[in-house]
Amino acid sequence: MSKLWGGRFTKDTNKLVEEQTASISFDQKLANEDIQGSIAHVNMLVSTGILAEEDGETIKNGLNTIKNKLKKGELSFSVEHEDIHMNIEKWLIDEIGPVGGKLHTGRSRNDQVATDMHLYLKHHTETIIELVHETQTAIVNQAGNHIDTILPGYTHLQRAQPVSFAHHLLAYFWMLERDKERLKDSMKRLNGSPLGAGALAGTTFPINRDAVAQDLGFDYVYPNSMDAVSDRDFILEFMSIGSIMMMHISRLAEEMVIWSSQEFQFIELDDSFCTGSSIMPQKKNPDVPELLRGKTGRVYGNLMSLLTVLKGLPLAYNKDLQEDKEGMFDTVETLEGSLQMLAPMIDTMTVNVDQMKHAVTEDYSNATDIADYLVTKGMPFREAHAVIGKIVLYGIDHHKFLLDLSLEEYKQFSPLFQEDIYEVLAPEQVVANRNSYGGTSQTEVQKQLSLAEDLL
């Protein structure tokens, strides 16, 4: 019986059960965190006198040897030893002999695995914050080049009012800024140390939980050992933040797909971010934004899956909790991979300034401005709205846009129209006039850009 927990068993584990209950195929990703946690645990066991100093040194040397061997690919994971924690413990005992068996004093895999995952997410949350920052930088750089670039702004995907392209892009800067704030805030919850909670009830050894927490860079220890081993809120929180972030990425991706279509031609994605068709030689497909949009599904799915795993669990540890890992890894890898592609894709896209400009001259998106014009001449807005509605209808019937109508034609609808109507109708002017705080006027966008730059 070679299981580390085999003492009370009289039969070998069924092979299928062994395969299906093992987590080593995926939790091997926690190897470094597991060793880091074990070294901190040993340091504490020595400093509290629970473990002799020389045993502590032997164990730490053994753990470092394992870390190096793992890096060089010299060790192979075994399903027989179920998970990363027991694989490492088994290697340790093989490496340094029975003294390796002292490592698990005053500890359980339950507080150990929770600690590993806190460490793992702390590390990756920092990486993701950095990647969000890079994406925001790419957005700010493109926005800086396009304050004066005007395109139709849409509501209901119908042309609404012209806007500065920088303004449109910066909307995504602020979404990502909120995502970054949420990630930073979540660090508070990632910074609690479960280690020392034991299996569920604490331990009989005189451990020092604060010392281990400090050693591992945690700010505090979980005050309740049962909560410490069964809490997975920190993973749910990460997945929720990740879901919101992927939703933002997906919205931008969707716009990039639309903008790069033949029908819009507002942008062209760099060749290095597109792929071709195996049958249609003319195709250049926006696969990258499409995939970013598509990958949002798995990130939502991972969140729903873990919420469902957790909903009926009695305290404290249950094997169900092992199902927390694959989704967590997948969300981390999806977010990191997506952001890594997004920033350079924004950086390298070409903006078709002329095509955007052409679009705003061929629509009725300056209609609100004529209504506002009549309001400045004394007409109530609701009345002006009705008048302009009639003018738009007239324009559509006569195949004319608002800039093409003569003053005589305008005067048929209201005597308030004067020559100065044409001043408010030009797209540049339409944009410039929206100079309320947070509006799309070039001066407001310039202020907004400075604000964004200050935050980076």
Q: Could you give the CA distance from residue 175 to residue 245 in angstroms, rounded to a whole number?
A: 8
Would you call 164 helix, strand, or coil by DSSP? strand
Q: Could you give the CA distance from residue 140 to residue 110 in angstroms, rounded to a whole number?
A: 45
Q: Is 332 in the site for ligand ARG (CB under 6 A)?
A: no
* Choice among 41, 85, 133, 156 that is catalytic: 156
Task: DSSP letter for 383, please.
Answer: H
Q: Is 110 in the site for ligand ARG (CB under 6 A)?
A: yes
**Minimum distance from CB of 319 to ligand ARG (Å)?**
6
- Tell me whether residue 156 is one of the annotated catalytic residues: yes
Residue carrying the six token digits 């919850």? 189
- Which one of 63-71, 174-182, 319-327, 402-410 is the stretch in contact with ligand ARG (CB under 6 A)? 319-327
Q: Which of 81, 102, 107, 109 binds ligand ARG (CB under 6 A)?
A: 109
Q: Is 83 in the site for ligand ARG (CB under 6 A)?
A: yes
Q: Is 34 in the site for ligand ARG (CB under 6 A)?
A: no
Task: DSSP letter for 219, please.
Answer: S
Q: Could you give the string, one character per residue 335-364, with x where binding to ligand ARG holds by CB under 6 A and - elsewhere?
A: ------------------------------
Residue carrying the six token digits 């753990």? 63
Q: Which of 203, 240, 322, 334 binds ligand ARG (CB under 6 A)?
A: 322
Q: Which of 113, 132, 139, 431 binds ligand ARG (CB under 6 A)?
A: 113
CB of 212 closer than 8 Å to CB of 40: yes
**Minimum distance from CB of 114 to ligand ARG (Å)?**
9
CB of 271 closer than 8 Å to CB of 344: no
Would the CA dihedral through 65, 66, 70, 73 be positive or negative?
A: positive
Q: Which residues contact 206 (CB under 8 A, 6 or more apart)?
A: 48, 49, 50
- Which one of 35-43, 257-265, 275-283, 317-325 is the stretch in contact with ligand ARG (CB under 6 A)? 317-325
Q: What are phi and psi of 3, to 5 degrees?
A: -65, 145
Q: Is 321 in the site for ligand ARG (CB under 6 A)?
A: yes
**Minimum distance from CB of 317 to ligand ARG (Å)?**
5
**Minimum distance from CB of 306 to ligand ARG (Å)?**
13
Beta strands in 333-399 (DSSP E): 350-351
**Minimum distance from CB of 318 to ligand ARG (Å)?**
9
- Which one of 180-188, 217-225, 238-246, 318-326 is the stretch in contact with ligand ARG (CB under 6 A)? 318-326
Q: Is 175 in the site for ligand ARG (CB under 6 A)?
A: no
Q: Is 121 in the site for ligand ARG (CB under 6 A)?
A: no
CA distances from 206 to 44, 45, 309, 342 (A): 10, 9, 34, 50
Q: Is 317 in the site for ligand ARG (CB under 6 A)?
A: yes
Q: What are phi and psi of 164, to 5 degrees?
A: -75, 140
Please state whether beta strands 267-268 and 350-351 pair in parallel, antiparallel, or not at all (unpaired): antiparallel
* Choice among 118, 123, 146, 277 that is catalytic: 277
Q: Is 23 in the site for ligand ARG (CB under 6 A)?
A: yes
Q: Is 164 in the site for ligand ARG (CB under 6 A)?
A: no
Would you call 51 helix, strand, or coil by DSSP? coil
Looking at the Cβ atoms of 27 and 231, the one nearer to ligand ARG is 27
**Geometric angle at alpha carbon 216, from 40 and 302, rounded to 5°:** 115
- Tell me whether residue 338 is one of the annotated catalytic residues: no
Q: Which residues contact 185 (CB under 8 A, 6 or more apart)?
A: none
- Residue positions annotated with a catalytic role: 156, 277
Residues of this chain that interact with ligand ARG (CB under 6 A) are 23, 27, 83, 109-110, 113, 317, 319, 321-322
